[in-house]
Amino acid sequence: MQVKSDGNSSLGLKLEFTSTGDDRRASVLLSSRAVNHFSNKFSKVIMTRERKELSSGWVINEGVVAMNGYTLSEIHAVCYRSNSPVNEIGWQNRSNDNDGTVASPSDYFALLGHITIKTSDYRSDFPVSSSWLVDGTSIKWTSDPLGSKTLDVKISWKLKNENSYQCLKFNVYLVKLAKRAGGNPGTTLEDVKEYLGVAQVSCFYVSDLKVPSDISNLKFIIQVCGVDGTIQELDESPYYELVVEAP
C-alpha cells in the first residue's frame, strides 16, 4: 500500500477474514509501526516493510499475509498515533461495530494512495523498458540572467507492439542529472525521483519546469500501472532523457 503521513500519525490496513468452513472471523492489522498498546484488538498484527523511494512523502509498505482456510471479506483503513490510547483509534470506513471511538479528524493526518493485493505465486508481466518508444516534442527553453532555465515539453510514449499490454494509467517522475567537474553528465541530484503527475493517456505535458544551472540532463520516467492495480518498478520503467540546452 502507498501511504503518506505527518510523522505523528500512522496508517495501516485492517483485513477481515471469514473461515471457509464455518462462521469464524479473524482480523489482521498491517502496520509499519509497533502497536503493542492495542494489538490485542486483532487476531494477528503483521509489520510491513517500508520503501521510501518515492518523492513527495509517499512511502510503499509491503507485507505478507498467510491465512489458510480463510477468505478476505473486508478491508478497512486504520489511522492511529503511536501513543494513542485504545479508545482513540481512528477507524476509516468502518462498519457498525464498537471497536473504538472515532477521534477528531484534526488529530490525525495520513493519506492512502493505492492498495495492491497479490497472491504468493503472482508474477508481473509488465513490458520491458525497451518495448516502449518514448519521445519529447514541443520543447521550449527559457533562460534567466542567473543561468537557470525553464522548460516546456510534451512527453509521449507507445508500445512497439501496441496491442501487447493493457494499461490503466501512467505515473510520471523526473530525475535531474547534475554536471560533473568539466561539464560532463554526472549522477542524479540527491537521487530524488520527483513525482510530476499521472496520465490516463499516452502523453504528458510539462510546463514551467525550473531547471537549475548545475543540471545537465533531465530523465522523465514513465511508470506503468496495470489494470490489476500493480505498478512497475521505477528502475525498470521506460524513460525519456533530455539534454539541457546549452546557454
CB atoms closer than 10 angstroms to residue 176? 20
- What CA–CA distances, in Å, run from 192 to 41, 56, 188? 39, 10, 7
**pLDDT tens profile 172-191:** 999 998 876 554 555 544 45
Asked whether residue 207 carries a pLDDT value surpassing 90, the answer given is: yes
Asked whether residue 58 carries a pLDDT value surpassing 80, the answer given is: no
pLDDT score of 123 = 67
Range of lowest pLDDT (39-43, 154-158, 178-182): 178-182
Angle at CA 110, nearest 5°, toward 94 and 61?
A: 90
pLDDT score of 199 = 92
Average pLDDT, the chain: 78
Per-residue pLDDT band for 10 (boundaries 50, 70, 90) equals confident
Per-residue pLDDT band for 221 (boundaries 50, 70, 90) equals very high
**pLDDT tens profile 103-148:** 455 566 777 777 777 777 766 678 889 999 999 999 999 988 877 8
In angstroms, the CA 62 to CA 64 distance is: 7
Using the structure block, give the residue that is written with the C-alpha cell 530523465: 219
pLDDT score of 179 = 72
In angstroms, the CA 208 to CA 242 distance is: 15
Closest CA to 84 of 2, 4, 12, 1: 12
In angstroms, the CA 146 to CA 189 distance is: 19
Task: Enter the pTM of the model.
Answer: 0.62
Q: Judge contact between 213 and 147, C-beta under 8 A.
A: yes
pLDDT score of 188 = 47
Closest CA to 245 of 146, 145, 151, 135: 151
pLDDT score of 155 = 96
Q: Judge contact between 113 and 3, C-beta under 8 A.
A: yes
Segment 71-91 shows an average pLDDT of 68
Q: Which domains does the chain have, with CATH numbers?
A: 2-112 (no CATH), 129-243 (2.60.40.10)
Who contacts 181 (Cβ-Cβ below 8 Å, separation ≥6)?
A: none
Give the DSSP letter string of 198-234: EESSSEEEEEEEEE-TTEEEEEEEEEEEETTS-B--G
Range of lowest pLDDT (14-28, 42-56, 93-107, 150-164): 93-107
